Amino acid sequence: MKLTKMMMTTTALTLAAGAAFAESHGSMAGEMTVVSWGGAYQNSQVKAYIEPYQAMNDGLKVITDESSAEAVTKLRAMAEAGNITWDVVDVVAADAMRLCDEGLAMEIDPDTMLADAPDGTKAADDFGDLMVSSCFVPQIVYSTTFGYRTDLLPEAPTSVCDIFDTEKFPGKRSLEKRPIGNMEWALICDGVAIDDVYTTLETPEGVAQAFAKLDTIKDNVVWWSAGAETPQLLADGEVTIGSTYNGRLFSAIAEQGQPIGMLWDWQMFDLDGWIIPANLPAERQARALDFLKFATDTQRLADQAKFISYGPARASSAPLVGKHAELGIEMAPHMPTDPNNAKNTFLFNYDWWASYRDDLDAQFQAWLLK
């Protein structure tokens, strides 16, 4: 432990020496490390946020990193070593809550640190309920939902419960290899009211009920662990219906022209947004805050939707969502938050899963092994 600390400190000194040479603008650092998820998503952030911001700040160097999946573990290690190399980090809401609770992310005051909407609405009201943690600035709403092959099924599925009907909708399904989402869908399709889903899952009988429902299709399931798998499995015809993030399905449908349709019924909403690590040096913190204020204003959030079909987290951004930057198609109907798509939805219950994930995950694993 001590040794890693020492090694990391040495690295820190080297880095600090490098940073000292970097040009500095007023009291803001001339260099900024932005961490995100890579792929089409990070590209959309580069185009909508980082490039315009660099155009406004001549000479600013932006380093991009694709480590968001391990953000919590890495930030813990950095804090332990006393050297934080990241300035702005894109994380899902659940991770933001954990980082905030552990004091690894700084608290954001929406009144002073974020931009108000053009019509004067306060940032806090503009983001509304989506500000689930005091350290978290929401950026997009995405959903985990189903796509299906339009040419391989006799008719289009209209309800999420159609995935449990292998007679009417033959072929394999791809589901994520974890209990989150699958357990809720199983209970909803077994007749449990949405408001009772989590109280049901707290009892052993409820868990058994969910597994019994999943048992009916277990032999027809291909389990995925990376978001890119379902679009590929659908494209290959390995599965006829499968769950994944809605942006991945959009890119398979609109950008690659695959014969895939969207099933929005009971899509599971989740949030993604920014945090700033706690205890950054003043110059770097000033830079990060300046960027954050710019990147989460109404226009910028609407701009990102030109590149990827995730819903902007500000209410005031929704009317500004326009056409896809390259394909020229209207983006609004592809958003998970579009009223036509959001008839039946539920929000990923962070708090509940934080408590029951270890336990249900072990049970889920045991069920898979049976």
Partner 1 sequence: MAETSTNGPMLAADGTPLKQSLAKALKRQKRMALLLIAPLLIFVLVSFIMPIGSMLMRSVQNTAGTDYVPDILPNVVVALEDWDPATGELPSEAAFKAMAIDFAAAFENKQHTQLGRRFNYETPGMSSLFRKSGRPISRLKIDQVTDFKSELIGMDKDWGKIEYWATIKANSGYYTASYYMAAFDAERTLDGVQMKEPDQRIYQKLMIRTLWLSALITLCTLAVGYPVAWLLADLPLRTSNLLMILVLLPFWTSLLVRTSAWKILLQEQGVINDIWVAIGFTERLSLINNQLGVVIAMTHILLPFMILPLYSVMKTIPPSYLRAAKSLGADNTTAFLRVYFPQTLPGIGAGALLTFILAVGYFITPELVGGADGTFISNRIYFQFSSMGNWGLAAALGTIMLLIVLLLYYVYDKLVGIDNVKLG
Q: What are phi and psi of 162, to 5 degrees?
A: -65, -20
Give the nearer residue to partner 1 in terms of CB position, either 56 or 369. 369
Chain-centroid distance of CA 342 in Å reads 17
Residue numbers of the site for partner 1 (CB under 8 A)? 1, 3-4, 70, 72-73, 76, 80, 98, 101-103, 172, 177, 218, 221-223, 225, 236-238, 351-352, 354-363, 365-366, 368-370
* Burial profile 326-341: b = 16 or more Cβ within 10 angstroms, e = fewer: eeeeebbebbbbbeeb
Give the nearer residue to partner 1 in terms of CB position, either 172 or 334. 172
Residue 215 Cβ, how far from partner 1 at the closest point, in Å?
12
Residue 262 Cβ, how far from partner 1 at the closest point, in Å?
22
Cα–Cα distance measured from residue 43 to residue 72, given in angstroms and rounded to the nearest whole number: 22
Cα–Cα distance measured from residue 191 to residue 222, given in angstroms and rounded to the nearest whole number: 25
Residue 358 Cβ, how far from partner 1 at the closest point, in Å?
6
**The pair of three-digit structure tokens given for residue 143, joined into one six-digit string:** 């959903």
Residue 49 in contact with residue 300, Cβ under 8 Å? yes
Residue 20 Cβ, how far from partner 1 at the closest point, in Å?
28
Give the nearer residue to partner 1 in terms of CB position, either 294 or 352. 352
Residue 276 Cβ, how far from partner 1 at the closest point, in Å?
16
Give the nearer residue to partner 1 in terms of CB position, either 67 or 299. 67
Element (H, E) at 23: none
Give the nearer residue to partner 1 in terms of CB position, either 1 or 55. 1
Nearest to 113 by CA among 270, 295, 317: 295
Instruction: Kindly report the number of other CB atoms within 10 A of residue 175's CB atom.
Output: 26
Residue 121 Cβ, how far from partner 1 at the closest point, in Å?
28
Burial of 59 (0-12, 13-18, 19+ CB in 10 A): exposed
Taken in order 224, 165, 346, 265, is the CA torsion positive or negative?
Answer: positive
Radius of gyration of the chain (CA): 22
Side chain identity, residue 152: L
Nearest to 183 by CA among 304, 346, 324: 346
Nearest to 23 by CA among 72, 58, 49, 66: 58
Residue 64 Cβ, how far from partner 1 at the closest point, in Å?
21
Residue 354 Cβ, how far from partner 1 at the closest point, in Å?
5
Provide the CB-side half-sphere exposure for 290 (13 A, CA): 19
